[in-house]
Structure 1
């Protein structure tokens, strides 16, 4: 038996009964849930009307009526509910209606499921769920979007002003933007419809805020800046809270950039035009906390560049004042006072660096602009050098004093290492680093051989630091010098054992020989000095011992570095005399005769005239007059006569007779200049060997770049060495283009 087809109106009447029931439940007019019979009757009606043969297949009609029914519900029930609602109440109603609408669409999609499964899929039509969301967006969201957007911004501004708002409500409303965008495949819906407006409103809000803060009447500029930065800091914290609790994370960067732009970039010029008075005052008053707040709030290059420049100029001013004090000391005080004052200046410069390095690390989080400012400022004033001394020489003298103080127990190990660590940092600002290395090496030379009070652990410690910071080339010679001391101790032990087992060879004099590796120690002239017989015996015994054990080594005796202890048999009382080998060699001559003329002494000693004058002056004209000089003047002449002072006495039984040091500073600088010429030659050859053909200008530039880690070579010096290499046929000018250099293999 054939069943007659269901009439459209009859079937739709069954559907409407279900729709009325659903609407009453959603609107709260019916609290009884829809039972299974009601649902099945509605579903069966839709199914039957969609599966009947044409012309009774009502699939298209039902598809259209689905949209019409939703639109009617939105027009008649939903939209009127928004009348007279604003701000928070509008958002709550909107959110509730959205949730209800999703329930309704979900229920209807189940009832009209057959349409989704067959009719819609075959014809590639929008799904029922998409239609439901689209209707809500068109009928409700588009109509209310300006009011909703204004309400969200109003609540966000209330929160910015410190008022309590329902942030979860804001978060849920904004989620509607995301859902609508995803469902309608518009991933930029949130950005276009809300975020762009939020950014503009944020700009207006903070522009108004910043302007009002600037206009407020504070009694001092410092008050304006201090209050401005404090309030700006609070605003940034508040924005981060709003982003984390309300907005999408992808809005964070754009929103924070907008806030920072309005608070800092727009008004940075106006604030900086106040002579950067607040920032400068904070630096001068050591208010690091306030400086740190400024930096962490305003990491904006346009603002930080002027501040870093001010920071640099301030450091240069302080440093220049210290250098000027050194100049004043050089012109107004005695030489020994000058040296002490210079060391005080070095300490002050180190403290200055330590102070402003703390600013860079603690206040400015090691920002490259402030590191650059610190580096440039110290390189500017520190390399001037007060009273004619270079910065490298001053640091070398300071290191020498620190290491001597540590060895003598005046400073603890911790204090020595802390002071030396600061020196290592400061050496980075020395322009002529090779000059510092040479002065340091010569001071190390005296500590190791002359003073005999060095702490070897400290010496090794600072050399390790130098090596880590500036490379092995910087410390290779000095490391060998320290290493030689250890080898010398081993040799002394062997020599003592040799003498104890060979009494015939024992010279009868306590002898300690320091064996140095040639080429690593500062160059010292060797003189064929005529030694007294006692000393000759010592030299012969040690030479024989050394060559027996180290046949491939050759000894060269440097008497100018030696020290002796003599027993002076004076008539009042015997006194031990500690003096140099040169002094001892001259004084031992008087064992054979009580009086000698200057020329006799020079002939018997074979000593260089300059050295002989220094020795005779120290023995006859200085503090301890071991020899009497005739005539009794302060100047040594070739016609002078010298006599042993048998009546000499002193309250001490042991005295040290110092020998005035030779002029070393000039020689050090000359040696450095010579080494620089060699370094320039090596750099030029190294570059040309690799390039073969290179322009003169580029060769000079690359040479400067290679050598800048040790010193800053002058262009004139490089050109001079290039000409020398051309003369020695290492290079030649290119025949086709004379501005190019060609390497000759």
Structure 2
């Protein structure tokens, strides 16, 4: 009943009010109202479930449901719906289940279940629309009463749980996936619908997922055993050949490609008809069976062969597969073992001294390429590379240092001439990377200093920029103290060039410019030690030398010059019958040859009297001029050795197609002698450093056992010390009363203050 205010009398007058009163008695419903309405609603539910049109309109049915709820009959409607849905679900699912059992075939169970589920969910949506008022009032506000949608799903779930159909559907689902894994074509839409049904019913994580994972584990366990037991040795074939391998003849790269293919399949499967949340568990299960349980066998059987064949893409696949299963340590172990084994084999080759450094550079470049591109610059594998390389390269102790220094010398003489700046820098970086692994860095410095001095003094270094760049890299690697003498040598050459320019400007009209005299001023503390040789110079050369000495004394008072004739070089123009030739030789050879400018024939004794050379040096010089490849002198009697009774004649008939000829000095065992002297000097220096380190340690510790003393010593020095050498140095300190043995324990030492 509605009430409203009517216009009243003018303002100030009395106003009338309408009062609304409730009914004195509730309207009385017909006695059959509940049953009749409930019957109409039941018939509508039947029609919806049978996909038939309802006799009443949906809006009218909605009003009936609303009226029943207002008259407190909501519970009756809810129970009716629950009962009807139970009967319908039981009827439909039991027909599917029993029909296939009777026929003995299960091919259509999943499809029919899918069809039932799609129809049922649509019907449930329609029913919920009709009974929406019931769902939003009674079901929502009554405890322990589920919504209509949840109730409809619970009916299906309960039937599947109570019967064997749940287990059957899971088994059929897994079987259908197995068929797809075996290469058969399956209806993915059906599998997706069944999976979503289990998810909606809340049976996915309890029933389908555990059984599916267990079946997956068993499937790939069987497959891995079959494939692993039939692996064939790796053949260095092309990628196309490896890709065409069959499962019955599969090598490790093919197996890894197969595993990746399986992972891609399962990833796609999880996206198409499984819940995406299963992806991580599914892939972890596959990797566990195919990789984790067989990682050691895969690495042990073919890792070395894959490395030898430089199969970067396959190694990258291996790395990506072992990371998720926590098998990086196994890969690191195989990686380290391969580097050590291959490196030691290279170090023991018969011609190792000839090709060792180039082979190691190539090997290091190959390892770096694999580390960066296959192993994604993994930190652990990078550390393993550095440790393994350092172990095998130092198995020959001092030899790698000598060979690397010699290799750098060869590059500076020839290789750096053709390389541009960028290529040169990259190449020097590779050499520094190799240098970083050797422990005898002090020995390398000694050899490099010897070779650098020869290059600078003989002008054989084709690129001074390369020399400076390499020294800069050495200084960055080892500190300024390591390269101080080497850098001093380069500065000496620069100062010598500046001095030569100043000398030429100050003595324009002198014989210096005519002869082409150039002197290098070497600081003795920077350069290797050279033994001076007594030599009587030709008059014109001696005059130029005196003039330079006077010029130098005027500019630098208090400095003494010591001439090293064995380091000097000269270029002499000689007239032969064939024509003029330019002979490039050392200063001693040039001094001897100039004697024949005045006399064509001289005896050994005359030559020695005019030069003042000792027999050993003179014999080597005459042998290079008269018995070598270019014989500008002839010797009587003819033989390959020089004696004091020989006579030498200028060979005016000398012939050679070259206009400029380099005559080298005979260097019998000179290099071996220098190397032995360098190693002896370095060994002596090392022993001094060991003594100093031992004293420092004992002074700080006061008392220390032999093993701990040895351990601390190795931490303070950067070279290896043999146990016998260490024992000898300790005995020396005991004799010199720096330390003493403990009275009760001979392996314990005490520092004597």
Aligned pair in 2 of structure 1 residues 363, 117: CA closer, same or farther (>3 Å)? closer
Give how far 1:160 is off: 1.6
Q: 1:4 aligns with which of 26, 49, 52?
A: 26
Q: 1:560 aligns with which of 537, 549, 566?
A: 566
CA RMSD of aligned residues (A): 5.6
C-alpha separation in 2, matches of 1:720 and 1:168: 83
Q: 1:239 aligns with which of 263, 266, 272?
A: 266
Larger Rg: 1 or 2? 2
Q: 1:319 aligns with which of 319, 330, 346?
A: 346
Give how far 1:648 is off: 6.0
Q: Is the 8 A contact 2:631 2:654 kept in 1?
A: no
Secondary structure at 2:518 match in 1: coil
Q: TM-score, normalised by structure 2?
A: 0.71
Q: 1:579 aligns with which of 577, 582, 585?
A: 585
Aligned pair in 2 of structure 1 residues 216, 598: CA closer, same or farther (>3 Å)? closer
Aligned pair in 2 of structure 1 residues 513, 202: CA closer, same or farther (>3 Å)? same
Give how far 1:197 is off: 1.8
Give how far 1:202 is off: 0.6
Q: Is the 8 A contact 1:488 1:515 kept in 2?
A: yes
C-alpha separation in 1, matches of 2:126 and 2:747: 86
CA deviations 1:298-357 (Å, max 9, x no partner) are 66749857965885687369637x71356xxxxxxxxxxxxxxx5356555655665676
User: 1:135 matched to which residue of 2?
Assistant: 154
Matched, 1:447 2:455: yes
User: 1:393 matched to which residue of 2?
Assistant: 402
Q: Is the 8 A contact 1:625 1:648 kept in 2?
A: no
Secondary structure at 2:570 match in 1: strand
Give how far 1:204 is off: 1.8
Give how far 1:468 is off: 6.8
Q: Is the 8 A contact 1:91 1:169 kept in 2?
A: yes
CA deviations 1:396-415 (Å, max 9, x no partner) are 33443344333676x89898
Secondary structure at 1:579 match in 2: strand
For structure 2, the 5+ residue unaligned runs are 1-22, 98-108, 236-244
C-alpha separation in 1, matches of 2:294 and 2:60: 71
Q: Is the 8 A contact 2:631 2:651 kept in 1?
A: no
Which moved further from structure 2: 110-119 or 547-556?
547-556
Secondary structure at 1:165 match in 2: coil
Matched, 1:651 2:651: no
Q: Is the 8 A contact 2:117 2:197 kept in 1?
A: no
Q: 1:145 aligns with which of 158, 166, 177?
A: 166
Aligned pair in 2 of structure 1 residues 216, 644: CA closer, same or farther (>3 Å)? closer
User: 1:664 matched to which residue of 2?
Assistant: 674
C-alpha separation in 2, matches of 1:33 and 1:494: 122
Give how far 1:225 is off: 2.8
User: 1:258 matched to which residue of 2?
Assistant: 285
CA deviations 1:414-443 (Å, max 9, x no partner) are 987787666555545656454344334432
Q: 5 Å matches for 1:316-715?
A: 319=346, 323-324=349-350, 342-343=353-354, 347=358, 390-406=399-415, 423-424=431-432, 426-427=434-435, 430=438, 432-460=440-468, 477-478=485-486, 481-482=489-490, 484-500=492-508, 503=509, 509-516=515-522, 518-525=524-531, 534=540, 537-539=543-545, 541-542=547-548, 545=551, 557-566=563-572, 577-584=583-590, 605=612, 614-615=620-621, 618=624, 640=644, 645=649, 650-651=654-655, 655-661=661-667, 662=670, 663-677=673-687, 680=690, 696-705=706-715, 707=717, 711-715=719-723
C-alpha separation in 2, matches of 1:675 and 1:481: 21
C-alpha separation in 1, matches of 2:125 and 2:737: 92
CA deviations 1:595-644 (Å, max 9, x no partner) are 79879958985x7786566556556765667789899987778xx47877
Aligned pair in 2 of structure 1 residues 505, 560: CA closer, same or farther (>3 Å)? same
Aligned pair in 2 of structure 1 residues 354, 190: CA closer, same or farther (>3 Å)? same
Q: Is the 8 A contact 1:88 1:155 kept in 2?
A: no
Give how far 1:375 is off: 7.0
C-alpha separation in 2, matches of 1:280 and 1:12: 85
Give how far 1:201 is off: 0.2
C-alpha separation in 2, matches of 1:15 and 1:490: 119
User: 1:202 matched to which residue of 2?
Assistant: 216
User: 1:335 matched to which residue of 2?
Assistant: none
Q: Is the 8 A contact 2:62 2:133 kept in 1?
A: no
Q: Is the 8 A contact 2:693 2:713 kept in 1?
A: yes
C-alpha separation in 2, matches of 1:376 and 1:417: 25
User: 2:69 matched to which residue of 1?
Assistant: 46
Q: Is the 8 A contact 2:687 2:729 kept in 1?
A: yes
Which moved further from structure 2: 649-658 or 70-79?
649-658
Q: Is the 8 A contact 1:445 1:521 kept in 2?
A: yes
Give how far 1:68 is off: 3.8
Aligned pair in 2 of structure 1 residues 699, 309: CA closer, same or farther (>3 Å)? closer
Secondary structure at 1:564 match in 2: strand
Give how far 1:239 is off: 1.8
Q: Is the 8 A contact 2:553 2:559 kept in 1?
A: yes
Secondary structure at 1:323 match in 2: coil
Secondary structure at 2:458 match in 1: helix
User: 1:25 matched to which residue of 2?
Assistant: 48
Secondary structure at 1:669 match in 2: helix
Q: Is the 8 A contact 1:532 1:588 kept in 2?
A: yes
User: 2:136 matched to which residue of 1?
Assistant: 113
User: 1:334 matched to which residue of 2?
Assistant: none
Give how far 1:522 is off: 3.4
C-alpha separation in 1, matches of 2:531 and 2:28: 127
C-alpha separation in 1, matches of 2:511 and 2:382: 65
Aligned pair in 2 of structure 1 residues 398, 216: CA closer, same or farther (>3 Å)? closer
Matched, 1:224 2:243: no
Give how far 1:89 is off: 3.0
Aligned pair in 2 of structure 1 residues 176, 705: CA closer, same or farther (>3 Å)? farther
Q: 5 Å matches for 1:261-300?
A: 261-266=288-293, 276=301
Secondary structure at 1:443 match in 2: helix
Secondary structure at 1:324 match in 2: coil
Aligned pair in 2 of structure 1 residues 234, 600: CA closer, same or farther (>3 Å)? closer
C-alpha separation in 2, matches of 1:555 and 1:11: 132
User: 2:207 matched to which residue of 1?
Assistant: 193
C-alpha separation in 1, matches of 2:339 and 2:289: 27
Give how far 1:259 is off: 1.8
User: 2:3 matched to which residue of 1?
Assistant: none
C-alpha separation in 1, matches of 2:138 and 2:128: 14
CA deviations 1:25-84 (Å, max 9, x no partner) are 3552236996555435533542453xxxxxxxx8xxx56x67644542332112322232
Secondary structure at 2:350 match in 1: helix
Q: Is the 8 A contact 2:62 2:132 kept in 1?
A: no
Give how far 1:146 is off: 2.3
Q: Is the 8 A contact 1:627 1:643 kept in 2?
A: no
Q: 2:110 aligns with which of 83, 87, 96?
A: 87
Aligned pair in 2 of structure 1 residues 670, 592: CA closer, same or farther (>3 Å)? farther
Aligned pair in 2 of structure 1 residues 263, 453: CA closer, same or farther (>3 Å)? closer
CA deviations 1:87-116 (Å, max 9, x no partner) are 243244335535654665687564243446
